[in-house]
Amino acid sequence: MLLAIDSSSLTASAALVRGGVLLAEGFINNGLTHSQTLAPLIDSVLKAAGAQPGDIREVAVTNGPGSFTGLRIGVATALGFAEARGIPCRGVSSLMAAAYGALDCEGTVCAVMDARRNQFYTALFHVKHLQLTRVSEDGALSKEELLSVPSPCVWAGDAAARCAREGDRVLSRPYVTGYGAALCYLNGHFTEADKINYLRKPQAERERELGRA
């Protein structure tokens, strides 16, 4: 059984998958930090599936890009869970996990997450017959660059609704899902969990560098 976790944005998600079949999935966005919500969320998903922690044989976790604090909390939680049980833990792209949430669509999927300061983490994918193919690597774009993405497309990720609205495009999948993270892993798209892909330096570090300039 696979436990998949996402904490790359404001919404936290966890999913249990066995043999490629989703057994249970949960979301939470109640304003509390992921350090407060992830453990109870995982517990609730296990209970919903009638499973025990010992039933888990592998763990997948989104390890970037996304919220610096959220990524660290999610990766630490996943690694701690896995190490305590002696099972493997792997990291997956949060943008690809978001794109996997749009498998019911056909065509271009633009995964997009708010990177603050009018920048967005983004990557392009293509969906055909329930198969997802990566078109571009994870990167950071300005809002102007992002909204030049050709239409029609499906927006996926925590900034999806905003981009769909501002770009006059209506299709969006506004969450990164635990099941999306599981599909990344099951399709062989993973790295070492602790290799967090921040894409940019944390804001505090950037401010320190500006102060030294």
pLDDT one-digit tens code per residue, 105-125:
889 999 999 998 889 999 999
**Span 187-200, pLDDT tens digits:** 999 999 999 999 87
CB 101 within 8 A of CB 173: yes
Q: Which pLDDT does position 205 carry in this prediction?
A: 47
CB 173 within 8 A of CB 160: yes
Q: Which pLDDT does position 163 carry in this prediction?
A: 85
CATH class of domain segment(s) 103-173: alpha beta
pLDDT, mean of residues 124-132: 96
Average pLDDT, the chain: 90
Domain with CATH 3.30.420.40 in the chain: 2-95+176-204
Element (H or E) spanning 183, and its range?
Answer: helix 178-186
Burial class (CB in 10 A: 0-12, 13-18, 19+), 146: buried
pLDDT, mean of residues 2-15: 96
Q: Which pLDDT does position 139 carry in this prediction?
A: 95
> Is cis: bond before 53, omega within 30 of 0?
no
β-strand 58-62 against 89-92: which pairing, if any? Answer: parallel
CATH class of domain segment(s) 2-95+176-204: alpha beta
Domain with CATH 3.30.420.200 in the chain: 103-173
**Span 64-93, pLDDT tens digits:** 999 999 999 999 999 999 999 999 999 999
Q: Which residue has the higher pLDDT, 138 or 201?
A: 138
Please, which pLDDT band fits residue 57 given cuts at 50, 70 and 90? very high
**Span 26-55, pLDDT tens digits:** 999 888 899 999 999 999 999 999 999 999
Structure tokens at 44: 């609730």
